[in-house]
Amino acid sequence: MRTSIQRFAFLLSAAAIVVLSSCKGGVKDADLEKTVNDKISAVSADVTNASSTVKDGVVTLNGEFRDESSKSAFETTVKAIPGVKSVVNNTTVVPPPPPAPVVIAADDPLMQGVTDATKDFPGVKADVKDGVITLTGDIKRSSLTTLMKSLNTLKPKKIENKLTIN
């Protein structure tokens, strides 16, 4: 008698598990995929080569987003879809464009600027060639930073400091 009750209880709990798990997996993978693809279409301006696959409620995303924020926002959107268990986000972000090249001042305005900057440092001689400022002569250590600050605003290619520092 006891065994049959136990058996009945076991069957009942087993049935409950089946019912619960079928509720939990109530959304079919195919339906989920369609929903995810609709979401992808909605953000088509932010992403290229996007695709998704769904297996047992786990969504795998592929594609290239234009930036990190649109990528993570989309992951949040997909996670919020009812029936999605988890998201494997294999999408990437477009690398940023290379920075604009550094603009180097032409020698004439550069020389003019160097003349102005070195005026108060009579021991300093400065030459300019192809954007490179070459400093010779001598200067007090306490004045060096002041001079360098001025010269660095002139957009030189580089500054060769050959000064004798006292």
Q: Which residues bind other proteins (CB under 8 A)?
A: 99, 101-102, 112-113, 115-117, 119, 141, 144-146, 148-150, 152-161, 165
Shortest distance, position 71 Cβ to other proteins, whole Å: 23
Residue 58 vs 144, nearer CB to other proteins: 144
Residue 82 vs 98, nearer CB to other proteins: 98
Given a contact cutoff of 8 angstroms between Cβ atoms, the answer to whether 39 and 63 are in contact is no
CB burial readout 72-82, b (16+ within 10 A) else e: eebbeebeebe
Residue 7 vs 158, nearer CB to other proteins: 158
Shortest distance, position 68 Cβ to other proteins, whole Å: 18
Residue 81 vs 111, nearer CB to other proteins: 111
Shortest distance, position 77 Cβ to other proteins, whole Å: 31
Any idea what DSSP says for residue 43? T
3-class DSSP assignment, residue 28: coil
CA distance 90 to 63: 7
Shortest distance, position 128 Cβ to other proteins, whole Å: 14
Closest CA to 147 of 132, 131, 163: 163
